[in-house]
Amino acid sequence: MSKPNADMRKAWDGLDGDIWAAAADQYETRGAGHRRLLLQAAAIASGERVLDLGCGNGASTREAARMAEPGEVVGIDLSTAMLTNARARSAAAGLTNVSFVHGDAQVHDFGPESFDVIISNAGAMFFDDKVAAFSNLRRALRAGGRIVLMAWQLLEDNEWLTVLRDTLAMGRDLPAPAVGMPGPFGLSDRDQVSALLSATGFTDVGFADVREPMVCGATTDEAYALLSDDGPVRGLLADLSDADKATALDKLRAVIAAHETPTGVIFGSASWLIQARRPAAE
């Protein structure tokens, strides 16, 4: 029997994770605005114990550790390569209240009531059994503990991906990613997510509409290097001929150039900032 999240394990502990690790600075810059809003909402207090779900290269983990000190922060991710970065960067920052786990939060045994806060910046959308995953996360929270997630809204509200799809379609009728399935839009439907969190024992479920720009690079060249190697673009190019692929990449560079501003290459995005609690008394 295959392990849970087999496809996500293969991707993130493989090529996708390796690419994100190699371009760690660019990806951490791209996620900086969302990370700031996530941590602001989490309001981590000194002495709290925090889990950072899908921590990647560890930017949110490091910031949470500074907020929680002397409390502890644990980052968990599927990617060996990104966790290597996360450990090295935390050590270089002199942080001693951080640890990292190579694992899958859907099934990892964190121990009951291990954390005061669970956070995730675009890392909680990839579970193939969301009920099992959020039930596990609820068990890991202390009574009254809180979970704060940043997750993409629907495809049509996210320019960063609709522009890529339109640009690289090359005459194809591309199917839309399935809402609620493991992937970028796994938590995009507000009603589905609200029902999921309620069914797995969370309360005080709330959503904030976040329209934070995505800065994909300081220049066209930097953004093109990042986006042309990113998972969605690689997927859109995969079944094109070499000639069509070259044409599509030329079109990608042109649309990136059209989005270059004095403050970087900027695309619009739409996310949900999702908050909920484990009940204080059960």
Name the residue with tokens 């479920």.
205
Question: Which letter does DSSP use for residue 156 in this model?
Answer: G
Q: What is the pLDDT of residue 215?
A: 95
Q: Residue 85 — φ and ψ, nearest 5°?
A: -60, -45
Provide φ and ψ at 121, rounded to 5°. Answer: -100, 95
172 Cβ contact partners less than 8 Å away, ≥ 6 residues apart: none
**Mean pLDDT, residues 73-78 taken together:** 98
pTM of the model: 0.95
- Mean pLDDT over 180-206 rounds to 96
Q: What is the pLDDT of residue 26?
A: 95
- pLDDT of 1 > 60? The answer is no
Give me the domains of the chain, ranges plus CATH numbers.
Answer: 6-153+177-211+271-277 (3.40.50.150)
Structure confidence at residue 2 (pLDDT): 64
pLDDT over 90 at 170, yes or no: yes
Residue 255 has pLDDT above 70, yes or no: yes
Percent of the chain topping pLDDT 90: 93
Tell me the mean pLDDT in the region 46-63. 98
SS (H, E, C) 190-230: HHHHHHHHHHCCCEEEEEEEECCCEECCCCHHHHHHHHCCC
Centre a 10 Å sphere on the Cβ of residue 111 and count the other Cβ atoms it contains: 9
Instruction: Sort residue 154 into left (φ over 0), alpha (ψ -120 to 50) or beta.
Output: beta
- pLDDT value, residue 177: 83
Is the CB of residue 162 less than 8 Å from the CB of residue 193? no
Task: Tell me the average pLDDT across 13-37.
Answer: 96
